[in-house]
A and B are shown apart, each in its own frame.
Chain A
Amino acid sequence: GEDVEQSLFLSVREGDSSVINCTYTDSSSTYLYWYKQEPGAGLQLLTYIFSNMDMKQDQRLTVLLNKKDKHLSLRIADTQTGDSAIYFCAESTGNTPLVFGKGTRLSVIA
């Protein structure tokens, strides 16, 4: 079945860039998403990319997609302590249910 894999932890210094990586197996994935979950909170949709795109930039966030390798990354520029959270990669083919990775816990050190 479909699977989404992420590394579990990432630690960066405040002001540095963070890069969170994700791989997926479903080649029919049409949409790829990044969600942010702060402690005790729900899932906030950060950004998404269509599978026919290579890159999407949204303020401090840059999403890169390598469809051949089924690799997705989220770069956060100038990482702040408020960016500390769990980041989930997810994929779907549109209105189908999302398949999530296990999440990457980002810790930002002041």
Chain B
Amino acid sequence: EPEVTQTPSHQVTQMGQEVILRCVPISNHLYFYWYRQILGQKVEFLVSFYNNEISEKSEIFDDQFSVERPDGSNFTLKIRSTKLEDSAMYFCASIDDRAYEQYFGPGTRLTVT
């Protein structure tokens, strides 16, 4: 069964460093998302991406964040200068052409020290 994959599974970085989180959505899906979950809290929407551009973003998704689809398969989230409060689990999701079933990847745990 096709699945969303994410790498790395765990990333440790120092405050102020740039990180890139990678996702490979399911191949025939059209919409891509990033969410984050701070430990013990609810899953929060960051950004959605469709037709090679951002379609929606939340207040959390400030100038420190960017997304890219550099080729036909990868979807990346970049955090330019990480802060302690960026420590969270980051989930990528994609949605199929029926546009109602969002499938999530296993997540990348980002720890900022």
Contact = CB atoms under 8 A, between A and B. Distances in A.
B43 interface: yes
A61 to B, nearest CB: 15
Contacts, number: 59
Interface of B: 30-31, 33, 35, 41-45, 48, 50, 56, 58, 91, 93, 95, 99-107
B99 A43 contact: no
Interface in A24-69: 30-31, 33, 35, 41-45, 48, 50
Given A41-B107, A98-B45, 4 more contacts: A33-B102, A35-B104, A42-B106, A48-B100
User: What size tier do the contact residues of chain A reach?
Assistant: 20 to 34
Contacts of A30: 100
A94 B102 contact: no
A33 B102 CA distance: 9
Contacts of B102: 33, 45, 92, 98
Contacts of A35: 104
B30 to A, nearest CB: 8
A92 B67 CA distance: 22
